[in-house]
Amino acid sequence: MSLIEAEKNKSDIGNKIPKDTFRNIKEEFVDNLYYHLSVPKNKSEDLFGDLSKIDSRSYHNLKHCENMLINKDRYLGIDFFKLHNEPLFNLAIFTHDRYYSINDSIKYAINILKESTSEKIKSSKNQDVLKRLIKATDHNNDLPKPTKAEKLISDLDLCVLASNKQEYKAYQDAIRQEYKDVKPINFYRARLEILENFLKKSSIFKLPFFKKNYENIARKNILGEINEIKLILTKL
């Protein structure tokens, strides 16, 4: 979901991507690897071909990555926060949902980084940074002492929770479609547990901007979905 510029309406998040913010995701991925992370261009293109397999999913796909990138740029324009290593941050956005297992996604991302021709770029230090950024999107296990960049990627990943009613419903439908092979009773029980765990947190979002503008909306949406699921479960 895309953040609307602060001067327009801070509390609103839109699902539709304005034409002026359209991004060529393949070009952006390849350029990020080739120009900023020193991965050979032909290898970068091959890696995008593999990454694009996630587009078979209904929600955790390249559109989700695109929304996170757009929200990142808008937030950085509002907060004037400079990411220390934005190419690594972008790589984490692209790869955090490559696999449903967070550890498999981390291994995948680090293997991409190792394709760099620069020893400095593929250093163990940068691998650790990349690992922590992806771990920050595992919302079941909060990182100890997260950096501002780690808090940001977590919040960007959860922007969808503060969508308007129509967009939140589309998100619900996409998640159910993505797990269509899971039996309804198992899906809804697991989904209920995830949502209830969000509400148990003192705050869903981590950075002040997101807490102030999106926390209450997200909690209202989650509570509404919880009530719907409980009703569904009584009929299964």
Domain hosting 101: range is 2-234
Q: Is the pLDDT of residue 14 over 50?
A: no
Domain count, the chain: 1
Q: Is the pLDDT of residue 17 over 70?
A: no
What is the value of pTM for the model shown?
0.92
Confidence category of residue 22, pLDDT binned at 50, 70, 90: low
Confidence category of residue 75, pLDDT binned at 50, 70, 90: very high
Q: Is the pLDDT of residue 165 over 50?
A: yes
What does the pLDDT look like over 92-134, one tens digit per residue?
A: 999 999 999 999 999 999 999 999 999 999 999 999 999 999 9
Confidence category of residue 81, pLDDT binned at 50, 70, 90: confident
What was the pLDDT predicted at 10? 43
Concatenated DSSP letters for the chain?
-EEPPHHHHTT-EESSPPGGG---HHHHHHHIIIIIS---HHHHHHHHHHHGGGGGSSSSSHHHHHHHHHHHHHHHHHH-PPPTTHHHHHHHHHHTTSSSSHHHHHHHHHHHHTT-S-TTTT-HHHHHHHHHHHHTT-TTSPPSS--HHHHHHHHHHTGGGG--HHHHHHHHHHHHHHTTTS-HHHHHHHHHHHHHHHHHSS-S--SHHHHHHHHHHHHHHHHHHHHHHHHHHHT-
What does the pLDDT look like over 184-219, one tens digit per residue?
A: 999 999 999 999 999 999 999 999 999 999 999 999
What was the pLDDT predicted at 21? 47
Q: Is the pLDDT of residue 148 over 50?
A: yes
Lowest mean pLDDT among 3-12, 64-73, 82-91, 200-209: 3-12
CA distance 188 to 138: 20
Confidence category of residue 164, pLDDT binned at 50, 70, 90: very high
- Average confidence (pLDDT) over 71-82: 90
